[in-house]
Structure 1
Amino acid sequence: MTLLPLPFLFLFLTSLPFSVISQLDERSTLLTLKRGLGDPPSLRLWNTTSTPCDWSEITCVSGNVTGISLKNKIITATVPTNICDFPNLETLDLSSNRFSGDFPTVLYNCTKLRHLDLSQNYFNCTLPADINRLSPQLELLNLGANAFSGDIPTELTSLSKLKSIFLDSNNLSGELPEEIISWKSLVTLSLSKNKLSGKIPRALGLLPRLVDLDLSENKLSGEIPPEIGNLKFKTLNFSSNMLTGEVPDKLDNLAYETSFLNNTNLCADKRVVKLQDCRKVLRRSKRLPGTIFVVIVVIGALILAVTLVLTFVVVWNYIRKPRTSRADIFNKDCLKSFMYNICIKYNGR
């Protein structure tokens, strides 16, 4: 076997395109990642004889890994520490697996990440207070259908480039932070099926690009801020909360016919929205003092009637009771004295 001279070998290696060398490096990193994920059978095509950019789970641009999609791969391991060892990674999809435990803060190292999807897993505990350490370039954050609990961290609002946020189907509680005003780029916000309480922040109505808003199936209360009516929604869902008052005029149309269902104390001026009529509610509220007055009158009449009946019974019994005169009392005393004297004489006393 003839060996190539070292100078020729060096020249050959240095003449390789940088993209080829990069792919070889990233293939090695991806295979390490595969082992960290427990070598799932779903990734059996990841091997040393193929090119990463040809793998269906990998997206490349100019030979560099820019996207990793491991959706529905039945992965049960924890998120590996080298998940961010790809300098150009912009998209990471780990959805529909069996990841569990705390929020994977190792993702803070993905500094160019734009899309992060961790939905439909078993992550739990509270969202970390330093969640703003995620990539400042982040545009999509999907944490839906997990078991996260506690408040929505105010620090999340520091990620000002977010366009889509999905935190639905968790156990999140507390109030929505007013600081959401910083999400000026926000287009979609889904917070349904949680335990959020308090009022809907008026700041939501000041987000100029917001067109999809879902706050359904929470415990939100109070009135809908009129600022919400200034937005042009494609989808809007406030149903199954504890909202009160009147739906803003600009939302009172057929486009939002089912947006406010199951809010017992919410009303609308027009019949196109499937809510009770505010005018009828107002009339009922005006009649309320009259109703109370009638109840008071009825109760008073019953008390008076019972008093009269008892008085009649007492008087009647008094009238029917036999009377004893002073003469009768005197005669009885005399009779008792007479009989006493006879007894004394009879007994020889």
Structure 2
Amino acid sequence: MTAASARRRTLRTAADLLDAGLIPPDTAEAVERVARSYAVALTPAVTDLIDPADPLDPIARQYVPSAEELVTAPEDLADPIGDAAYSPVKGLVHRYPDRVLLTPLLVCPVYCRFCFRRARVGDADATMGEAEIDGALAYVAERPDIREVILTGGDPLMLPAARLEALLGRIGAITHVDLIRIHSRVPVSDPGRVTARLAGVLGGPGKAVWLAVHVNHSRELSPQAAAALSRLAGAGIPLLSQTVLLKGVNDRAEVLEELFRALVRHRVRPYYLHHPDLAPGTGHFRLTIAEGRALMRRLRGRLSGIAQPTYVLDIPGGAGKVPVGPDYWDEEAAAVTDPAGVRHGYPPD
């Protein structure tokens, strides 16, 4: 098989990656060991973005397994954001009073090497059955404080359009739910799935559906991804983005600036910049929070407000997300720091 033909199908094994020219032969054994613990999948849309000749390719770093994943740091956690402790019924996480996460399936078109659910995703048997969906939605229906249902996984846009439409309809029928949010990599990793039919399902009548697209580098916004985003925006679906701050991928201010500018051009509002979670085998992706704060400070004043995400940390153990971006206001001194780093008293003398 030629490298070109290997790249036209989803790559799932070390042999596949070797055939496609994405890993050197001397790493195949280590990559196969990684694949035994953590799911691997690269769609043709993703492999087309990778430059095999570039050992620092930011797309490859996100999706191609490496021996670094076999190293577990002392601070790594099997459940880094505390899903298990807040899961009252299968497939549902209730961490905040007004919203719940629903994971109808745990499969994705691609598997990110930094994923905080990396030990669970890829399990096709974890797809929720009808009885389990019934139980989760009954839980929501019985709690009027729940105003938002967030579909995540896995990737909810891997569901057949008809099944997704039925699920959205059932959630929308719960009177106290105001909106449905969907988190997905599909528009950038498998944009061909974003058909007119799917866009129509998401933008159809009923409760408002917001879509949070996971994208970490401007190169992921290929012409095909741009077309998928256009179909979604054209169907009236509000688009947000989530980005993970990753060493070797987007840990420079100019790279983040290019990404956020590209997103707003495609009618996607940058929403969160996540500090990476303490998932096992992902320490090689992590910067310090101080480094992340410095990057965000450099972006302030260079980007308009609609292109500025909130830099957040998901506190281990399930305590929730909090902003950890740079501070500009000094309460004690009654002074504010401008984007250039100059302090000003407020009100002025």
**Larger-Rg structure:** 1
TM above 0.5, one fold? no
Relative contact order (C-alpha < 8 Å, sep 6+): which is higher?
Answer: 2
TM-score scaled by length of structure 1:
0.28
